[in-house]
Chains A and B, each alone.
Chain A
Amino acid sequence: MSGIQLVLLTGVAFICLYFVIQLKKKLLDLVLLLALIAAAVLFILWPDITTKLAQKLGVGRGADLVFYTSILIFWFVVLKLYARIRQLEKSFTQIIREDALKKASGPSSNEPVSK
């Protein structure tokens, strides 16, 4: 086992541990995560597999294949995060708006207008 394999495996192990603690209840997420972890361990221990797979898919080197898929996953995650941010912004706006409407002051006095 080479140095880089040790480093990567330690990293994957920690990520795995973290997510298992976080996702205890969500079964589907856990299954997906375990599949990803298994793939990661497989590719780290036997990097030649990626090369074989890459050649089947018409990509030169295994490292390139990993790189391309990473970009895809990266964009997927970015979009998911954006969707999440927009969702959060929506609830945030709603709270601020309700507060503003409740505390509105009227023309004749500084008393609140709304009920």
Chain B
Amino acid sequence: MLRKIIQTKEGLFSAIVLGILVLTALLGPILYPYHPYEINVEKILQAPSLKHPLGTDLLGRDLLSRMIYGARISLQVSVVAVGISLIIGIFLGAIAGYLGSWVDQTISRFIDIMLCFPTIFLILAVIAYLEPSILTIMIVIGLTSWMSVARLVRAEFLSLKEREFVLSAKIYGASTFRIIFKHILPNALPPILVSASLGMGHAILIESALSFLGIGVQPPTPSWGNLLIEGKETMEIAWWLSVFPGLAILITVLAFILLGETLQEILNPRKR
């Protein structure tokens, strides 16, 4: 599948970007030239140079190191958040779509209710009661972003359960469990993967937004959103502090979206 992905321009771009991102996040401590928390008052607000490729911040910390560390945080948040939303979304969507009747009605109305709240305010409300930490951020983003997955899965199940190959499986005696997980779910997977990929980008954006508002990942832990807000203070004299984290968010989200689109193309079995 990877080969298929990198055969398109968009796929190649997203594969390279996400590959680098995952590698830096994994290799973090080996890669960064300075410790991300290391304060050096003699090197405050230095412009990008050979010694500090992306410059230094108000406390003289190396921006590159902090961004590498931040990549780890951002990726971690998005993976866990999307994981949670996928688990909830697939489960609720599958039973709503497959069982229909009042189960479907109940779940669908619940989804509608959840969608009525603007996500960011819903998150703000939840965070108000909880200690802001990376863990709560991940869980809260996951718990507030499963609705689109659930809707998607429900719609797929609704149409797939009436398809003749599912009826045939029923007729030759396949169990409900087998029908749901072997016959329907794999066929519903392409749109789920696409939405998961888009969801990753979305999760990074929400995390950045929350950190920007000061209720996300707490300083001094650097996440990209955190770095962005720190950079905001000194934007006029040190452009690099807001430009580089901003670019990182932009490129990563773009890569996830393009990956989603590429997946949509190649997961269509008729095009294989």
A binds B: no
